[in-house]
Amino acid sequence: MIIGIESTAHTFGVGVVKDGKILANCKDSYTTEKGGIIPMESAKHHRECADRVWKDAIVRACVSEKDIDAIAVSQAPGLAPCLLEGMKFAKKKAIELNVPIIPVNHCVAHLEIGRLTGASDPVLLYASGANTQVIAYAAGKYRVFGETLDIGIGNFIDNFARYIGIGFPGGPKIMELAKSGKYIEIPYSVKGMDVLFSGLLTNLKQKYDKGVSKEDLSYSLQETAFAMLVEASERALAHTGKKELLLGGGVACNTRLQEMCRIMCEERGAKFFVPENSLLVDNAAMIAYLGEIEYNSGIKVNIKTFDELDINPRERTDDVVVSWK
Ligand code: ATP
Ligand code: FE2
């Protein structure tokens, strides 16, 4: 049985997995009314809720701490103070329980959890707050085929939502407003398999200042930004010859994005997979899930070498040595 800890950004989570089955997926998220995430504040939040979320997960999973074989922890990438809290907590618990730690890359976990939906070798469109990447496995590693060249899609949406005064997180609210909007032209920027959002953001803000309705702007934002993501994903499918598209990240909860991806896949004869919302957003079940896969292939750090085990805030997806495949 593997217990996983997630703490890369605003979410502190603890998940329990056994034989590929999720027994618990608990979390507590740091939120702000105004402005973005303050890393030190988020880390403080994680420190304060860690014991409670851990206990909650143990109870939900109906297991006993002594059944835990190892602790998986998201080691990378993310905000350093937040990652540090997760790592400190993981080490404390691992020493208490006398079990090894399995370091996990958060982005790869978003991809691997897709196996639960039946995807076996997909292109992942990872659309979250800070990250926007098109990732797939090729020649021994997870490769980033395309990504945002400026800001993440979620941060872009949240930034615009704050500007028009509808609060945080903006994604779900923009999705609602879009339902009664119509299309107006806004800039579209895809470069190969890369995308850019900051020009689009400026343009949307200017149009809002000139009196264009929130509904029309929300609708056009979604149609344009999501079409960019779909185009980049389709190019990655064509380039790699893969036949499956998988969604990951909080923005993937958006039903219009899901619909656009589904249509593209149908048109090119590919299969489309989308995990349930609780596994799309940042969560610890995916950390435990990938942790178990790594553990079964012999990846673990024993207590004796904990001193050498550190966080890796800037690790790139294609830096990860994939020895479990
Ligand atoms: P990262 O994982 O890159 O560190 P994060 O922790 O902010 O980023 P997630 O929890 O995966 O990412 O996703 C949060 C984002 O998802 C927010 O930007 C939020 O607005 C967006 N989001 C949530 N639900 C929806 C929705 N229905 N439509 C669009 N966006 C959504
Ligand atoms: Fe994430």
pLDDT digits (tens, 9 = 90+) for 145-169: 999 999 999 999 999 999 999 988 8
Closest atom, ligand 1, to C-alpha of 168: 20
Smallest-distance ligand from the CA of 152: 1
E strand segments, the chain: 2-6, 11-18, 21-29, 70-76, 101-105, 123-127, 132-138, 141-147, 190-191, 194-195, 244-248, 271-273
pLDDT computed for residue 210 by the predictor:
98
Q: How confident is the model at residue 28 (pLDDT cuts 50, 70, 90)?
A: very high
Strands 194-195 and 244-248: unpaired
pLDDT by residue (tens digit) across 76-132? 999 999 999 999 999 999 999 999 999 999 999 998 999 899 999 999 999 999 899
Residue nearest to atom 8 of ligand 1 (CA): 129
Do both 33 and 106 map to the same domain? yes
pLDDT value of residue 167: 81
Structure tokens at 54: 């851990």
Ligand nearest the Cα of residue 256 is 1
The residue behind tokens 């809290």 is 85
- Taking the centre of ligand 2 as the mean of its atom positions, its distance from the CA of residue 6, in whole angstroms, is 9
pLDDT at residue 36 in the model? 73
pLDDT (0 to 100) of residue 46? 98
In this structure, what DSSP letter does residue 122 have? P
Domain match, 221 and 309 both: no
Q: Is residue 231 in a domain?
A: yes
Q: Is 325 inside a domain boundary?
A: no
> How many angstroms separate the alpha carbon of residue 272 from the centre of ligand 2?
20
Question: Which residues approach ligand 1 with their CB closer than 6 A?
Answer: 8-10, 128-131, 152, 154, 157-158, 169-172, 175, 249-251, 253-254, 281-282
Looking at residue 168, what is its pLDDT? 80
Please give the share of the chain, as a percent, with pLDDT higher than 90: 94
List the residue whose alpha carbon is closest to atom 11 of ligand 1.
250
Does residue 115 sit within a domain?
A: no
In a domain, 250, yes or no: yes
232 compared with 36, residue with greater pLDDT: 232
Ligand 1 atom closest to Cα of residue 78:
4
pLDDT band at 37 (very low <50, low <70, confident <90, very high): confident
Q: Identify whether residues 96 and 220 lie together within a single domain.
A: no
The atom number, within ligand 1, closest to the CA of 37 reads 7
Residues 272 and 134 in one domain: yes
CB under 8 Å to 122, separation ≥6 — which residues?
Answer: 111, 114, 136, 242, 244, 245, 246, 273
Instruction: Mark whether 82 and 172 lie in a shared domain.
Output: no
Indicate which CATH number applies to the domain containing 210. 3.30.420.40
pLDDT at 33 over 80: no
140-146: average pLDDT: 95
Residues 62-71 have a mean pLDDT of 97
Which residue out of 155, 159, 253, 257 has the highest number of ligand 1 atoms within 8 Å of its CB and is therefore the one to mutate?
Answer: 253
Residues 20 and 104 grouped into a single domain: yes
| pLDDT exceeds cutoff 90 at 32 | no
Give the mutation target among 12, 153, 251 for probing the ligand 1 site: most ligand atoms within 8 A of CB.
Answer: 251
Nearest residue (by CA) to ligand 1, atom 16, is 250
Could you tell me if 179 and 133 lie in one domain? yes
Residue 324 lies in a domain: no
Position 325 scores a pLDDT of 86
pLDDT of residue 218: 98
* pTM as predicted: 0.94
Whether the CB-CB separation of 214 and 180 falls below 8 Å is answered with no
Query: Which residue has the CA at smallest separation from atom 25 of ligand 1?
Result: 171
Residue 51 included in any domain: yes
159 and 96 co-located in one domain = no
Per the domain annotation, does 272 fall within a domain?
A: yes
Range of 178's domain? Answer: 120-276
Q: Is residue 202 part of a domain?
A: yes
User: How many structural domains compose the chain?
Assistant: 2
**Within this chain, do residues 180 and 266 fall inside the same structural domain, yes or no?**
yes
pLDDT at 35 over 70: no
Query: What is the rounded CA–CA span in Å between residue 237 and residue 240?
Result: 5
Does 176 lie in the same domain as 143?
Answer: yes
The pLDDT value recorded for residue 208 is 98
Residue 205: what pLDDT? 98
Say yes or no: 131 and 76 in one domain: no
pLDDT per residue as tens digits for the range 173-231? 999 999 999 999 999 999 999 999 999 999 999 999 999 999 999 999 999 999 999 99
Distance (angstroms) between ligand 1 centre and the Cα of 161 equals: 13
Considering the domain architecture, whether residues 272 and 126 belong to the same structural domain is answered as yes
Ligand whose nearest atom lies closest to the CA of 251: 1
Average pLDDT over residues 16-38: 90
Nearest-atom number in ligand 1 for the CA of 255 is 27
